[in-house]
Copies of this chain bind each other. A is one copy, B any other.
C-alpha cells in the first residue's frame, strides 16, 4: 500500500471510495457513516489518509461531523459547496469576464420564469426595493440596491439554485465593479448620452404592465454596459475551442460516437 506510481494519490482514491460507499449503501441525508477507524480498516489505509479525504467532503458540505456523534450525510447543494474557500482574487481575468457574462446570460434567460411565477406581492416588494434604491450616478446603483433587486427577481423564479449562484458570485460582481470602474464610467456616459440607460424603475414598469417583450428589451439594455465592457476587454483575443469538440473533427468518428450514446459515461476521451 505504499506505491504511488499513478498520478492519483491515495487520498484521491479514498475520496472516491468513500463516495462509492455512500452510493452503494444508498445512504440518504441524515444517515450516519462509519467512523474514521472503520473506514481506515475497510479501505486498508491509515486513519490520516481517511481524514484527509473526509476533510474534503466536509468542505463541500457532503458530510458533517461532530465529536462523539460521528459523521452524517448532508443534503448536497452544488453552489453552496463552493462558498467556502473561494475568492475572486484567485480568478484570472478571463474567468472574471466569463462569469460576468455567465451571470448576465442567466438573468436574461429567466425572464419567462419570472413572468410565469410572479405574484402581486412580489411586485409590491420590488416596488419597495426600487423605492429605497439609491441612485448614485448614471446607472451605477448602490451595490445593496442592485443586489436586492436582482435577488428578488431570482427568488421569483422559485429556483433556489439560481439564488445560491447569485450569492456565490456576488463577491465577483463587487470585485469587478471595484477593479474596472474606469472602464464602466465612459461606457455609462455614452449610454446616457444615447438615452439607453435603463433603471430598475424602468424594468419594474414593464413588470407592472405585464409586458414581457419590453421587459426582455429593457433588461438587455440594463446589462448593456456589461456586454460592452466584456467585448472591449476581451478585444481581439481569439475564441478558444473546447478540446472535446476538436477531438471529433472526423465525421466518421463522430458518427461512431453518436450511434453508441450509452457508452458516454465511461468515455474519458470526451471529458
Contacts and interface: CB of A to CB of B under 8 A. Distances in A.
A144 B56 contact: no
A269 to B, nearest CB: 12
Identify which of A95, A108, A258 gathers the most chain B CB atoms within 10 Å of its CB. Answer: A258
Tallying the copies of this chain within the complex gives 2
Would you call the interface of chain A mostly helix, strand, loop, or mixed?
helix
Given A59-B15, A90-B22, A242-B163, A145 B258 contact: yes
A242 B151 contact: yes
Interface string A69-113: 000000111100110111101111011001101101111111011
A159 B105 CA distance: 11
A186 to B, nearest CB: 21
Contacts of A143: 261-262, 264
A37 interface: no
Identify which of A84, A89, A95 gathers the most chain B CB atoms within 10 Å of its CB. Answer: A95
Interface of A: 4, 11-12, 15-16, 19, 22-23, 29, 48, 51-53, 55-57, 59-60, 62, 67, 75-78, 81-82, 84-87, 89-92, 94-95, 98-99, 101-102, 104-110, 112-113, 117, 125, 128-129, 132-134, 142-145, 147-148, 151-152, 154-163, 165, 167, 171, 174, 220, 234, 239-242, 244-245, 248, 251, 254-255, 257-262, 264-265, 271
